[in-house]
Structure 1
Amino acid sequence: MEQPTPTAPWYSAYPEPKSSEPNKVTREEVLELLQKTEGPETKDFVLIDVRRNDYEGGSIHGSINIPAQSLYTTIPAWYSLFKAAGIKRVIWFCGSSGGRGTRSALWFQDYLDGKGDTEMKSMIMVGGIKGWVAAGGKFIDNMDEYVTSVWNK
């Protein structure tokens, strides 16, 4: 009896990113950005959580959820919104920022490169949300809807 072939991964429906190495930012740098923008300063970055089925246990304060599986076809719309808002850094993360976060950052950077936009930068947050939570303390304090039991599995 023949074994069924595995289903192709969701991202195989889209082109491979042109680059294999995304721009990176550390969780400490992201925390510093969050703390700098708590006052009247203009926020020039956006945090994007690309988790879908594993979107649970909370997320970083102020981040938006755009599941990676629905990102590719909507990149032009997101770019237009971010450009109009004066965003300079688009910071992506998933569970560990090793798969979906990296792919999302690279696809968006490919789009920026295609537009000739050198003012906006696409980057991943190293370690993803798991690294953020593992750092504890002030990182967890900067989460919305944090649920301890989800992270203690």
Structure 2
Amino acid sequence: MAESQPWYAAYPPPRSEPVALKREDVLALMRNKVAGRDYVLVDLRRVDHEGGTICGSINLPAQSLYLSLGTLYTMFKAAEVTTVIWYCGSSRGRGSRAAAWFADYISDHAGGADTEMQSVILEGGIKGWAAAGKEFTALMDGYDEDVWKAAS
């Protein structure tokens, strides 16, 4: 019986090493900038915001992301978004892979000329955000404390 491959094996490995933003930096960004215009938060979890999601996030499950990179770049560029922040549970798997793929796309398709848009991960992911206290959970849509207690 053949071993099944992980979902990301169908796509090229990322070449970039993603930059991580600390949750405090994302919090400051949320307080001083406009979601959807200055930055976009992308929740890569497949479970549709289970336990809540960071306010203003869009849900794009990582398993379907790679083939949408071009469309996302075009939309984000047209909206003049400067920072795309990717996260999953911990931002060590799907989050870092997505941020790196998007950074690679920016580099490959903008010929290195796009210095205005950056692709980053949320350090610690949504788990770190939810565990950081009320200042952070207050900025979650659909926050369910019981989900995060069970996850710890």
Note the alpha carbon deviations across 1:110-136, whole angstroms, 9 max, x for none.
000012222110000100000000101
Is residue 2:13 matched to residue 1:23? no
Residue aligned with 1:69, SS = helix
Q: Any residues of structure 2 matched to 1:80-99 within 5 Å, and which? A: 80-99=74-93
Q: Higher Cα Rg: structure 1 or 2? A: 1
Structure 2 unaligned regions, length at least 5: none
CA distance in 2, matches of 1:9, 1:145: 30
Coordinate RMSD, CA, aligned: 1.6
In 2, are the aligned partners of 1:72 and 1:107 still within 8 Å (CA)?
A: yes
CA distance in 2, matches of 1:45, 1:61: 12
Structure 1's consecutive aligned runs of 4 or more residues displaced over 6 angstroms after TM superposition are none
Structure 1 unaligned regions, length at least 5: none
In 2, are the aligned partners of 1:112 and 1:118 still within 8 Å (CA)?
A: no
Does 7-16 or 29-38 show the bigger shift? 29-38
Q: TM-score, normalised by structure 1?
A: 0.91
Residue aligned with 1:152, SS = helix
What is the match of residue 10 of structure 2?
13
Is residue 2:49 matched to residue 1:59? no
Q: TM-score, normalised by structure 2?
A: 0.92
Counterpart pick for 2:97 among 103, 110, 122 = 103
